[in-house]
Structure 1
Amino acid sequence: MVNVFSLEARTEFFDLVCSGRSILAAARCVGATHGTGRNWWAQSGRMMTMDMGPVGGLADPAPSPGGPGRALDLAERGMIQMGQRSGLSYAKIAELIGRDRSVVWREVNRNTGDDGVYYASVAHTRAHQARRRPKPLKLVQDEALCRLIGVWMDDGWSPKLISEMLAFYFADDQTMQVSHETIYQALYVQTRGSLRADLAEKLSLKRKQRVPHAADRHKNSPYKEAFKISERPAEVQDRAVPGHWEGDLIIGSNGTAIGTLVERSTRFTILLHLPGDHTADTVAAAMIREMGHLPDHLRRSITWDRGTELAEYDRIQTALDTTLYFCDPHSPWQRGTNENTNRLLRFWFEKGSDLSVHTPEDLRQVAAKLNRRPRPTLNLQTPANRLNQLLQTAA
């Protein structure tokens, strides 16, 4: 037989725990099992408890009778609880306790548990724990969480992306969620966490201040007859139709380079191996080789900067049966998707490094890592997933 506990019984349980009793002892007092008590406690917001088995209680119970001056005290929260269960409006409850209705509204919305019920003792204890200074640090002793963050940072994930993916994978476990600011603090501030010390290096792109472009030195531009970005069809701009790419070069030391191509709707990335040079002939051959594997409907257009490396654009258009569009001079933001991808790629290909040391297999591995990386712009799907869906649909 399944026991159905009244709201009064659950309220008594929370009052007992918040007064210092253990979850087990409080559950027994109201006739519930330890497992039921733990479920109730999880729904209330997972406040800190001492890991002391049946005798453990709150790690930091609120002092009695109430909090500091302008904060709500336990008696006021008790009136809010009573008003809520009596069906009173926020305005009426506020009038009874002499507060503004917005105070009551924020209090109820902030401290209502997953079961949809407001408990005064729980709200009061949570408010007390939230005011504690210094706050306990999640990344000091949680080795499992630190290891997971370390694995993702080794693959070039940003603290912001890690925070979002923790919330996605552990939606029901607050202990495995952490903000990106907490990760940054653990990396840069001593005694703020237990992440590996070398992980701070994973954040640095070693990017210096951007240098303004020099005046246009290419008066005899090979792109006078080429299509301009303003002539691209509207379907490219809104990303509604796949198969439109943006491209550019990542430049290293001694004139070394790697070509990058990004599909606008999926963010799928292709890297071009340019071991000897990045002349127009070399870049054209690499683009034709790599993009030739794609089906026709996934190579509708390519947008590129006005570098001389694409002077043989006619050859590329003919071989790939596509159209090339060129950005306005000194306007890299017109290839925003590619610019952002190149920024991510600097995790593996640092500025000022010799890019010729990377083999074609190295480039394939890096592209695979980037294409398996969840993207917030894709609702945390991966570029590889999105492209695979398009290929399956076409098949």
Structure 2
Amino acid sequence: MVKLFPPNSRTEFIDLVCAGMSIDRAARRVGAAGATGTAWWSQSGQMSINMGMHGGLVDPAPDVDIAGDWTLTAFDRGMIQMGRRSGLSYAAIGKSIGRNKSVVWREVNRNMGADGVYYASAAHTKAHQARHRPKPLKLALNEPLCSLIAVWMYDGWSPKLISSMLAFYCPEDETMQVSHETIYQALYVQTRGSLRADLAEKLSLKRKKRVSHSADRHKNSPYKEALKISDRPPEIADRAIPGHWEGDLIIGCDGTAIGTLVERSTRFVILLHLPGDHSADTVAAAMIREMGKLPEHLRRSVTWDRGTELAEYAQIQTALDLTLYFCDPHSPWQRGSNENTNRLLRFWFEKGSDLSTHTPDDLQRVAAKLNRRPRPTLNLETPAYRLNQLLLEAKTPALP
């Protein structure tokens, strides 16, 4: 007699394995035998795994997305899975996550299991693992390209000029195109050395090593004395305690901007109206005004990027009695929740648009829409519901 399982059993099993659980334990969790779990994984997981009670994926995807505007997040893939199970078209699914239908089509066809089903957690894990695989070096096996670069460098051409001329002369041949950064790495980084070391002497500044362009800027940075993200206590990283926020700006045309704040445990969103500019004084005033409406236990810390708009962070810390932490330079993924939320907000606030046309009431309406949106990361509960639960718990007196 063949045992029948609920329709979501296999999906739950795949999710558990992709989260790091062994096949045997994940199978038992959903009420299946280990052999059944092995068969499910071979049909849908498509990734190598260590077997046994203490086995599992060697490299599961992290909880926080390392993503930019061009990559799909765990949330995106969850929406694709939900859309596929609901019978939605690729166009409808793409619209729900702000992507073209072709992106959704490629994602589904690239990650379709042998059982004909798309599993979001398996697709996200494979994408994470693919990012860590070593990529072949562009100059390593391309003698014609290396020779041409050497000729031009002997004539005193800079890597930037060489890169531009390669794109001009060889627009249809990607094998003969390379960025100036790749040329610099091939000259200065031993593990990427594909060009002769003596060519570095042909650079106009003749440095023995490359100097970071940010060196002088860091010297005068307003954040030299500020707390870094590495200083945050573990309770913030694991989202165990509410009241810790991530923030950034959404930038429009002509210097217009909107401030965004996301609570890490509930994903609740607050939007900051920034009329006229996004100077440090304007942003500080908006943060103090909006976050001041929160109870003290829901404003413990804020993690922000190192933009100059938060140069008045000491004033914000004093007024709100919270701690501000700053990400490492050029590391937006360290505010994963905020980055994902900002991308969702682009549905209403398009890139290149004039963001000053949105009134405070407009921002409140958009924030309310996003806070009432079910989130897979919250077991399809809404940020508004989660935050309301926290507020109710705070008002409920403790039992004697």
Q: Deviations over 1:288-311 (max 9, x none)?
A: 000000000000000001111001
Match of 1:161 in 2: 79
Corresponding residue for residue 27 of structure 1? none
Q: Residue 178 of structure 1: CA displacement?
A: 1.6
- 1:142-196 deviation per Cα after TM superposition (whole angstroms, max 9, x unaligned): xxxxxxxxxxxxxxx96953763896xxxxxxxxx326xxx21xx3xxxxxxx79
Looking at both structures, which has the greater relative contact order when contacts are Cα pairs under 8 Å and sequence separation is at least 6? Answer: 2
Aligned runs of 1:24-39 on 2, under 5 Å? none
2:98–2:344 CA contact under 8 A, matched in 1: no
Match of 1:361 in 2: 361
Amino acid at match of 1:373: R
Matched residue of 1:203: which SS? coil
Distance change (3 Å), C-alpha of 1:164 and 1:214 = farther
Q: Can you give the 5+ residue segments of structure 2 that lack an aligned partner in the other structure? A: 1-6, 8-34, 41-74, 102-180, 182-211, 396-400
In structure 2, relative to structure 1, the CA distance for the partners of 1:159 and 1:324 (3 Å cut) is closer
Q: Is 1:271–1:367's contact at 8 Å kept on the other side of the alignment? A: yes
Equivalent residue number for residue 289 of structure 1: 289
Alpha-carbon distance in 2 for matches of 1:222, 1:234: 26
> Contact (CA 8 Å) 1:261, 1:338: kept in 2 or not?
yes
- Contact (CA 8 Å) 1:242, 1:264: kept in 2 or not? yes
Give the letter aligned to residue 225 of structure 1: E
Letter in 1 for 2:381: Q
CA distance in 2, matches of 1:326, 1:223: 8
Q: Does 1:203 align with 2:112?
A: no
Q: Please identify runs of 4+ aligned residues in structure 1 that moved more than 6 A.
A: none
SS at match of 1:303: strand
- In structure 1, the residue matched to 2:263 is 263
- Structure 1 residues 165 and 392: alpha-carbon distance in aligned structure 2, compared to 1, 3 A threshold: farther
**Residue of structure 1 equivalent to 2:71:** none
Q: Which residue in 1 is equivalent to 2:318? A: 318
1:200 positional shift: 9.3
Write the letter of the residue equivalent to 1:358: H
Contact 1:158–1:203 (CA under 8 A) maintained in structure 2: no
Contact 1:254–1:354 (CA<8 Å) still a contact in 2? yes
Partner of 1:346: 346
Q: How does 1:144-293 map to 2 (within 5 A)?
A: 160-161=78-79, 164=82, 177-178=86-87, 183-184=89-90, 187=91, 203=99, 215=214, 217-293=217-293
The Cα of 1:275 is off from its aligned counterpart by 1.4
One-letter amino acid of the counterpart of residue 391, structure 1:
L
Question: Which residue of the partner structure matches residue 17 of structure 1?
Answer: none
Q: Decide whether the 8 Å contact of 1:247 with 1:260 is kept in 2.
A: yes
Structure 2 Cα separation of the partners of residues 201 and 260 of structure 1 = 19
Q: Distance in 2 between matches of 1:158 and 1:327?
A: 24
Counterpart AA for 2:87? V
In 2, the alpha carbon distance for the partners of 1:329 and 1:215 equals: 9
1:48-63 equivalences under 5 Å are none
The structure having more radius of gyration, on CA atoms, is: 1
| Amino acid of the structure 1 residue aligned with 2:225 | E
Relative to 1, partners in 2 of residues 1:271 and 1:227: Cα closer, same or farther, differing over 3 Å?
same
Letter in 1 for 2:360: P
The answer to whether the Cα contact below 8 Å between 2:97 and 2:344 also exists between their aligned partners in 1 is no
The whole-number CA distance in structure 2 between the counterparts of 1:200 and 1:162 is 9
Distance in 1 separating the partners of 2:389 and 2:214 = 44
% same residue: 72
The secondary structure found in structure 2 opposite 1:394 is: helix
Name the CA shift for 1:375/1:352 in 2 (closer, same or farther; >3 Å): same
SS in 2 for 1:259: strand
Give the letter for the 2:234 counterpart.
Answer: A
Q: Structure 1 residues 163 and 201, CA, compared in 2 at 3 Å: closer, same or farther? A: closer
**Helix, strand or coil for the counterpart of 1:363?**
helix
Tell me the secondary structure at the aligned position of residue 366 of structure 1: helix
1:388 aligns with 2:297: no
Call closer, same or farther: CA 1:286–1:374 in 2, change over 3 Å. Answer: same
Cα separation, partners in 2 of 1:200 and 1:313, compared to 1, 3 Å: closer
Q: Where does residue 34 of structure 1 map in the other structure?
A: none
Distance 1:323 1:201, change over 3 A: closer
Structure 1, unmatched stretches of 5+, are: 1-44, 46-100, 107-156, 168-176, 188-194, 206-211
Question: Relative to 1, partners in 2 of residues 1:265 and 1:231: Cα closer, same or farther, differing over 3 Å?
Answer: same
Matches within 5 A, 1:36-47: none
Q: Given residue 99 of structure 2, which amino acid in structure 1 is its aligned partner?
A: L
**C-alpha distance after superposition, 1:31-61 (max 9, x if no partner):** xxxxxxxxxxxxxx9xxxxxxxxxxxxxxxx
Cα 1:220–1:314 shift into 2, 3 Å: same
